[in-house]
Chain A
Amino acid sequence: MKSPFPRRAGSPVQRRIAVVALLAGLIAPLAACGGLSANDNDKSSVSETYTDLRTGKPESARDKAVLDALPESVRSTYAGFWHATRVGPNPYADWKPSQAPWKFCYSSAYQGNSWRQEGLAVAKDIVAQLDKKGLVDGPLIVSDANNNASLQATQLTTMVQKGCDVILVMQPPTVGLCKAFDAAQKAGALVVVMQTGTDCTNVVQSDFGAYDAGRTAAEWLVDKVGKTKDTIVMCDGIPGVAAAEARQAGASDTFKKAGLKVDHITGQWTPSTIKSQMLRYLSTHQGAIAGVWDGGVCAVPVTQAFQQADRDLPPVTGFEGACSWLASWKQTGSESFGFAGGAGQGVNEAFKVALRMLAGQKPKHNTLLYPLVQIDGSNVDEYYKPGMKLSSGCNAQPASGDSAPTAYYDDLFTGTGTPATFDAGLADLPVK
């Protein structure tokens, strides 16, 4: 006898069809979203004026044309710029700076580590110096978004309401804040994004040439290892993060050109992850390793992994010039190569850009990339200080006090206004 009740579930075939339909239903909107966002970029007028952010992709004809049109003095620093940022005209071309005193604001995406604390300390010090010259209106207004983009957008809006003339934004997310930046720009505030690439084209960006830095460190390693069949291990950062991918692209291109065999570990810019990945790599690869390229924070945990796995230490590069890396270098005596890349120098360069603009100068482009100061065997003694330890949280700073000489920006700006000057005091930062 047929049951009077409808069956609760369909036949196995029906269930399978339902699962497939459900999956298709989930995937289709995702694919559509991907397609829409790509189309949005293509269709917008912004995309015609600014190059696209093309992380991990080879150079396009347009990227090449933009690069070739840059002044020769900055061209190598801008190499591979499309991995981390977009280049186009100055979005503040029509902006007229207000008269001093100015209100300075500092919007940080996160403040929970020593690197970020150093950046803020340097910013406060610079503002205090400008204040003595009567150029500052009130104390530096600071916000910390704890890695929450929507919170940072709100904080930016509040800063605009408080009448900030200059908003320095420390490492905001690549996307998600463009509308908040837009509102700030419309209110007449100058927004300078520091130490990261951004998809937003309505801000001025100050950053070091990440591709160039990755390439330069890789070139040092290639020279060091010579012709070899042994493997180079690249210690990569966070997959998909533009700043990490740009460094890696610079290094990958160099190793490819040199014909070297490359393996990767993914350290996620986290020392404990880097060390566990490197130990796992060493456990499963007993063959000789020619050298290790550092995509950020890797040098010390990688060196420890080699030592603790009883393996010969090959040349290992550094990257951001951590005090712990210099301590490790001194301890092992194994020559390395890196940069003076603390947050302090980044804030210093961003202030130099902002003060030029406040003095009436105009940048030729939205993105201002500068080269980092290199640390190698010839100048390491200028950077190493006795208090540096393997557990130190500080970073080496440019010995001259600047990453880029002031004259470096002359080719990137038009106008003749004389900017206010300051001493970033990077050499006096504590070793801790």
Chain B
Amino acid sequence: MSTSAIEQTPTPTSAATSRRRRGALSSLLVYLAPLAMFLVLMVATPDVLSRTGIMSLLVLSAVLGIAAVGQTWAVMIAGIDLSIPATIGMANVLLTTLYAKGWSFGEIVVLLLVLSILIGMANGVLSSIFGLHPLVVSLGVASVVTGGVLISVDGNTGGDVPGFITNAVSPRGSVLGVPLPAALVVWVLVAVVVVLVERRTVIGRQIFALGSNVTAARLALARPMLIRVFVYSAGAICASAAGVLLAGFSGGASVDIGAAYLFSTITAVVVGGTSLLGGAGGYARTIAGVLVTTEFTTLLIGFSVGPNMQQVMLGIAILVLITVYGRDRHVAHRL
């Protein structure tokens, strides 16, 4: 009886298999893309094959990668986080101004953690209680954060940077004698934690559930507001970490320092193949996206492509990449 039933419905099984194959192929392409792009970069500009050349790429990737944690999770719950640049700017300015005023680095970190969680709560609670789209909520929060920071320092954003932060983002920096920049080590640790949370914890699975279907997630006893607060707080903490690293990177501080990270974090997430519809993808894919975009922009500079043409090429590359492996249907429509 059961045998005949299976025989009578062969189509769904083979369709599912072919879907799985397509999914596996798409994943494979995502993770192979950074390697392929590095080969192209190596062939086109062999100069990149030096320790400082590769470390420069990895440090740039590390800062972007840490900043992109929040965007990845926000997109996975079918939202978006436009407050990341403002949070980066906040951490950047507060670190330098407060450090110059004599605060210890530890005290500043605690303050940034508290503020990041407040930002995450504002994003998560407002988008849940009022049912507002996170795009609007995070935009408003961003405006409040930037304005608040400027009021608190009266527009004077100069200050001081702890020496070890400068060393952390130097391509020739080292950790405990190992010639690896601390920013890179931090990124690896962040990546391990983020991927483990996604794959091995209840809240991680609930992130996928919430992005797939809010009603179903609620019926499965997931609490949407709590998950949103968690996601946006984690994102704000990582954005603050990126802001701290950027203070060491450029020496000075600016409330606008994160501006470039709105487009680049979304690009990294999308190029990594995480669907903007939510419910699928993950941070491992974003890591691939970060590496590909960093390599690609380096390639363009290697070819001495002008700034306007760089924009055009980056746009075309994004369109090509998402056409190749970013066309998955929303999880809710795959059954």
Residues of A near any B CB (own CB < 8 A): 111-114, 116-117, 236, 239, 263-266, 270-277, 279-287, 300-301, 304, 308-311, 324, 389-394, 432
Q: Which B residues touch A271, using CB under 8 A?
A: 250-252, 254, 257
Q: Which A residues touch B45, using CB under 8 A?
A: 283-285
Give the distance to chain A from B10, nearest Cβ to Cβ, in Å.
Answer: 30
Q: Does B330 contact A (CB under 8 A)?
A: no
Give the distance to chain B from A248, nearest Cβ to Cβ, in Å.
Answer: 12
List 20 extra interface pairs beyond A270-B254, A275-B249, A300-B252, CB under 8 A. Answer: A112-B255, A114-B155, A117-B154, A271-B257, A279-B171, A280-B301, A284-B41, A284-B45, A286-B50, A300-B250, A300-B251, A301-B251, A310-B52, A390-B161, A391-B161, A391-B247, A393-B156, A393-B159, A393-B252, A432-B158
How many angstroms from the CA of A393 to the CA of B93 in the assembled complex? 12
Q: Which A residues touch B310, using CB under 8 A?
A: 266
A-B contact pairs, 19 of them (CB 8 A): A112-B256, A113-B157, A114-B155, A116-B155, A270-B256, A271-B257, A275-B250, A276-B60, A280-B57, A280-B297, A280-B298, A282-B56, A283-B53, A304-B250, A391-B158, A391-B160, A391-B161, A391-B251, A393-B157
Q: Does B96 contact A (CB under 8 A)?
A: yes
Q: Which of B50-68 contact A (CB under 8 A)?
A: 50, 52-54, 56-57, 59-60
In the complex, the answer to whether A264 meets B304 with C-beta atoms within 8 Å is: yes
In the complex, the answer to whether B249 meets A393 with C-beta atoms within 8 Å is: no
Q: Which of B143-158 contact A (CB under 8 A)?
A: 146, 150, 154-158
Q: Which A residues touch B299, using CB under 8 A?
A: 284
How many angstroms from the CA of A355 to the CA of B251 in the assembled complex? 39
How many angstroms from the CA of A274 to the CA of B60 in the assembled complex? 12
In the complex, the answer to whether B307 meets A284 with C-beta atoms within 8 Å is: no
In the complex, the answer to whether A279 meets B260 with C-beta atoms within 8 Å is: no
How many angstroms from the CA of A46 to the CA of B308 in the assembled complex? 32
In the complex, the answer to whether B150 meets A432 with C-beta atoms within 8 Å is: no
Q: Which B residues touch A117, using CB under 8 A?
A: 154-156
Q: Which A residues touch B161, using CB under 8 A?
A: 390-391
In the complex, the answer to whether B251 meets A390 with C-beta atoms within 8 Å is: yes
In the complex, the answer to whether B172 meets A263 with C-beta atoms within 8 Å is: no
In the complex, the answer to whether A308 meets B302 with C-beta atoms within 8 Å is: no
How many angstroms from the CA of A394 to the CA of B260 in the assembled complex? 24
Q: Which of B112-129 contact A (CB under 8 A)?
A: none
Q: Pick the residue among A274, A300, A391, A432 that contacts B156 (CB under 8 A).
A: A432
Give the distance to chain B from A297, nearest Cβ to Cβ, in Å.
Answer: 9
In the complex, the answer to whether A284 meets B298 with C-beta atoms within 8 Å is: yes
In the complex, the answer to whether A279 meets B308 with C-beta atoms within 8 Å is: no
In the complex, the answer to whether B155 meets A310 with C-beta atoms within 8 Å is: no
Q: Name the CB-closest residue of B to A282.
A: B56
Q: Name the CB-closest residue of A to B303.
A: A284
Q: Does B253 contact A (CB under 8 A)?
A: yes
Q: Which A residues touch B106, using CB under 8 A?
A: none
Q: Which of B28-77 contact A (CB under 8 A)?
A: 41, 45, 47-48, 50, 52-54, 56-57, 59-60
Q: Does B177 contact A (CB under 8 A)?
A: no
How many angstroms from the CA of A392 to the CA of B159 in the assembled complex? 6
Q: Pick the residue among B158, B172, B249, B255 that contacts A309 (CB under 8 A).
A: B172
* Of B45, B251, B259, most A-chain CB atoms within 10 Å: B251
Q: Does B268 contact A (CB under 8 A)?
A: no
In the complex, the answer to whether A272 meets B249 with C-beta atoms within 8 Å is: yes
Q: Pick the residue among A239, A266, A287, A391 that contacts B252 (CB under 8 A).
A: A391
| A270-B257, A272-B249, A286-B47 known; A277+B301 contact, CB < 8 A | yes
Q: Which B residues touch A277, using CB under 8 A?
A: 301
Q: Which B residues touch A287, using CB under 8 A?
A: 47
In the complex, the answer to whether B253 meets A391 with C-beta atoms within 8 Å is: yes
Q: Does B87 contact A (CB under 8 A)?
A: no
Q: Which A residues touch B253, using CB under 8 A?
A: 391, 393
Q: Name the CB-closest residue of B to A274.
A: B250
Q: Which A residues touch B302, using CB under 8 A?
A: 280, 283-285
Residues of B near any A CB (own CB < 8 A): 41, 45, 47-48, 50, 52-54, 56-57, 59-60, 96, 100, 146, 150, 154-161, 170-173, 246-247, 249-257, 259-260, 297-299, 301-302, 304, 306-308, 310
In the complex, the answer to whether B158 meets A263 with C-beta atoms within 8 Å is: no
| A301-B251, A391-B253 known; A283+B154 contact, CB < 8 A | no
Q: Which B residues touch A310, using CB under 8 A?
A: 52, 172
Q: Pick the residue among A111, A114, A116 that contacts B158 (CB under 8 A).
A: A114
Q: Which B residues touch A432, using CB under 8 A?
A: 156, 158
In the complex, the answer to whether A113 meets B155 with C-beta atoms within 8 Å is: yes
How many angstroms from the CA of A424 to the CA of B247 in the assembled complex? 32
Q: Which A residues touch B47, using CB under 8 A?
A: 283-287
Q: Pick the residue among B41, B50, B251, B308 that contacts A304 (CB under 8 A).
A: B251
| A309-B52, A309-B171, A391-B160 known; A272+B298 contact, CB < 8 A | no
How many angstroms from the CA of A310 to the CA of B170 in the assembled complex? 10
Q: Pick the residue among B52, B100, B251 that contacts A283 (CB under 8 A).
A: B52
Q: Which B residues touch A391, using CB under 8 A?
A: 96, 100, 158-161, 247, 251-253
Give the distance to chain B from A290, nearest Cβ to Cβ, in Å.
Answer: 16
How many angstroms from the CA of A301 to the CA of B53 in the assembled complex? 17
How many angstroms from the CA of A287 to the CA of B304 in the assembled complex? 14
* Of A113, A280, A309, most B-chain CB atoms within 10 Å: A280
| A114-B156, A391-B160 known; A280+B56 contact, CB < 8 A | yes
In the complex, the answer to whether A301 meets B301 with C-beta atoms within 8 Å is: no
In the complex, the answer to whether A114 meets B172 with C-beta atoms within 8 Å is: no
Q: Which A residues touch B306, using CB under 8 A?
A: 264, 266
Give the distance to chain A from B161, nearest Cβ to Cβ, in Å.
Answer: 5
Q: Pick the residue among A114, A281, A286, A309 that contacts B157 (CB under 8 A).
A: A114
How many angstroms from the CA of A160 to the CA of B159 in the assembled complex? 38
How many angstroms from the CA of A324 to the CA of B157 in the assembled complex? 13
In the complex, the answer to whether A272 meets B301 with C-beta atoms within 8 Å is: no
Q: Which A residues touch B173, using CB under 8 A?
A: 308
In the complex, the answer to whether A113 meets B304 with C-beta atoms within 8 Å is: no
In the complex, the answer to whether B155 meets A112 with C-beta atoms within 8 Å is: yes
Q: Name the CB-closest residue of B to A146.
A: B147
In the complex, the answer to whether B48 meets A284 with C-beta atoms within 8 Å is: yes
7 closest A-B pairs by CB: A393-B158, A284-B302, A271-B250, A266-B307, A283-B53, A286-B47, A272-B250
How many angstroms from the CA of A309 to the CA of B58 in the assembled complex? 13
In the complex, the answer to whether A113 meets B251 with C-beta atoms within 8 Å is: no
Q: Which A residues touch B54, using CB under 8 A?
A: 283
How many angstroms from the CA of A174 to the CA of B33 in the assembled complex? 43
Q: Which A residues touch B57, using CB under 8 A?
A: 280, 283
Q: Which A residues touch B154, using CB under 8 A?
A: 117
Q: Which B residues touch A393, using CB under 8 A?
A: 156-159, 252-253
How many angstroms from the CA of A281 to the CA of B45 in the assembled complex? 11
In the complex, the answer to whether B60 meets A308 with C-beta atoms within 8 Å is: no
Q: Name the CB-closest residue of A to B96.
A: A391
Q: Name the CB-closest residue of A to B159.
A: A391
Q: Which B residues touch A282, using CB under 8 A?
A: 52-53, 56
